[in-house]
Chains A and B, each alone.
Chain A
Amino acid sequence: MEHVLQTASPGHNRLKPITGIKVEVAGQTTASGCGTSGGEGKASCGTSDGENDMPPEIWEKVKNHPCYSEEAHHHYARMHVAVAPACNIQCNYCNRKYDCSNESRPGVVSQKLTPDQAVKKVIAVASEIPQMTVLGIAGPGDALANPQKTFETFRMLQEQAPDIKLCLSTNGLMLPDYVDEIAKYNVDHVTITINMIDAEVGEKIYPWIFYNHKRYYGREAAQILTDRQMLGLEMLTARGILTKINSVLIPGVNDQHLYEVNRAVKSRGAFLHNIMPLISEAEHGTVYGLTGQRGPSAQELKEVQDACMGGANLMRHCRQCRADAVGLLGEDRSDEFTQDKVDQMDVIYDLEKRRAYQEQVEIERQAQNTAKQSALAKQADGDDDIKVLVAVATTGGGKVNEHFGHATEFQIYEITAASTTFVGHRRVDLYCQGGFGEDEQLPSIVSAINDCHAVLVAKIGACPRDELLAAGIEPVDAYAHEFIEKAALTWFADYRARVTSGEISHQPRGDASIRQGAFMAA
């Protein structure tokens, strides 16, 4: 009981941003989980000396940032504005008719905006959605291949909406030239896409770059790119600007090489490393799509992510959102804020209202953490060493609150008796689409969460329930509207009890597939 009280004390997170917090941000287990889980998680816990401490000023920067903090991404929203159409390199997984594939899924097109239009849109969205705390420029091309538009947007926003955090994404080619400008506008997060540190690997990913008024091809191009990326990363680190590294996992091209990338970026001070799957379909018209280069399976992705866990903090909740997305990660409300609609809006930017709302969110967030800690404390001891994945249907707020039939994605958690670890998202096609086509969707949902033992939902119909059971996935609606970690742990305790009593036997599950289509097509 005392243990519960301690971890539940409000303000714990903010007052003591040490080991336990870092672990939350990394999307890994809690500090107590490290202590008791032995073999599992050793990569992250073994290297904890000093590194696991997060200074308060860094926690301050990341705690409400949905892209940096796994916990925050349940509660806060970010938006992107598509003011940067140009790009200065070519990636084999990108077709330049569409948005930059480094940040979005391939095949999506954003509405391009001028800096003026973008600022108006941001203010309109921020007034309507008080959880919106972060504005990013991530395309549709490369933010730093469009320096005027990018920095003009930042400059205006800093004047008009000073509480909004700014971030940008870049391929890194022009980064060293703009680090000072980035610092000047108080941009506190920069994402760099780094897929290789070796030009021999790089030439298989980048056919050319445009640099210093010249086109470079092949190995020479890749060498310049990697040199510029590393220099840019070092310069950002030297100025105390947080960096996230995105890497696209391309099986057979850089899958083994990403371990080296992980070491290289970590040693240069990268804060987060996000390993994302290659999305490759012939219909996107990309080089990889046309040559039949495949993307990784869920297990292949998890394997590389797990192996890189001890390096830079690993982020698993990235959803590869589109360049003009609005909303909590994974939820897209862009349709409510098209240019026409924004033009008609009468917007008052109410800083106080936003603050009050965010305070409310903070209370919810504490409650979620408390629920998790007390559920962990209740787990029965045992040496069964069972580890399972569960899929969760949620609309946000950190709760099991989505109907199975309405879910467009599932959040996947790895559960042991001592920990819950968020491992990623799986997109699915809507099961319910106004009453038809349902039977075709179910097999694809099953294959997306096929590695899970259970799926936690707010509600589920009789028909999908039976089919999930037949596929060996347990549908669970007993914990509707409870906090996710608590629900998952409570189900898990029950599952283990059933295994112990001999009612069921624990069987390992197979692999799952990663959905390929553009997620939030316009």
Chain B
Amino acid sequence: MAYKIVASQCTGCSACDPECPNQAIFEKNGVFYIKPEKCTECIGHFDEAQCVAACPVDKTCIIDTAYPRYQAA
């Protein structure tokens, strides 16, 4: 499983982008999105999901329930 960005909430500030340990965050036309196959929920890197912690808008980086929870190898 992975995190996703709620596009309607994203201000496009880019704060999340450099914080991601897996370079899973990308930008398209000023709106940011997460590539689910790259996101590890920060497991193995940090205690908190970095995109969530860095984002200035609450509930913008959220769990994407369309994917199963990430399992550390």
- Interface of A with B (CB < 8 Å)? 85-88, 90, 96-97, 112, 140-141, 145-146, 148, 210, 213-215
Contact = CB atoms under 8 A, between A and B. Distances in A.
Nearest to A148: B18
Interface string B2-36: 00000000011111011100000000001000000
Between B11, B46, B57, the greatest number of chain A beta carbons within 10 A of the residue's beta carbon is seen for B11
B47 A214 contact: yes
Given A213-B48, A214-B47, A141 B54 contact: no
Contacts of A86: 13-15, 17-18, 54
B2 to A, nearest CB: 19
Contact of A214 (B13, B15, B17, B48): B48
Contact of B12 (A85, A88, A213, A215): A85
A214 B18 CA distance: 14
Nearest to A90: B56
Given A213-B46, A214-B48, A88 B15 contact: yes
Contacts of A88: 15, 54
Contacts of A148: 18
A90 B11 CA distance: 14
A214 B12 CA distance: 21
B57 to A, nearest CB: 6
Given A85-B13, A87-B13, A210 B54 contact: yes
A116 to B, nearest CB: 16
Contacts of B54: 86, 88, 210
A213 B15 CA distance: 12
A96 B12 CA distance: 10
Interface residues of B, number: 17
Interface centre among B12, B13, B18, B53 (most CB of A within 10 A): B13
Interface of B: 11-15, 17-19, 30, 46-48, 50, 53-54, 56-57
A213 B19 contact: yes
Contacts, number: 45
A112 B54 CA distance: 19
Contacts of A112: 12, 30
A213 B49 CA distance: 9
B14 A146 contact: yes
B13 A213 contact: no
Nearest to B53: A215
A85 B56 contact: no
A148 B53 CA distance: 20
A90 B30 CA distance: 21
B13 A96 contact: yes
A87 B19 CA distance: 12
A91 to B, nearest CB: 10
Contact of A213 (B14, B17, B53): B53
B30 to A, nearest CB: 8
Given A88-B54, A146-B14, 16 more contacts: A85-B11, A85-B12, A85-B15, A86-B13, A86-B17, A87-B13, A90-B56, A96-B11, A96-B13, A96-B57, A97-B11, A112-B30, A141-B13, A213-B50, A214-B48, A215-B53
Given A90-B56, A213-B19, A214-B53, A85 B14 contact: yes
A14 B62 CA distance: 59
A145 B15 contact: yes
B13 A210 contact: no
Contacts of A213: 19, 46, 48, 50, 53
Contacts of A90: 56
Contacts of B48: 213-215
A87 B11 contact: no
A146 B48 CA distance: 21
A90 B58 CA distance: 12
Contacts of B17: 86
B50 to A, nearest CB: 6
Contacts of A146: 14
Nearest to A86: B15
A214 B46 CA distance: 8
B53 A87 contact: no
The 8 closest A-B pairs by CB, nearest first: A86-B15, A96-B56, A215-B53, A85-B13, A86-B14, A86-B13, A210-B54, A213-B46
Given A214-B47, A214-B48, A141 B53 contact: no
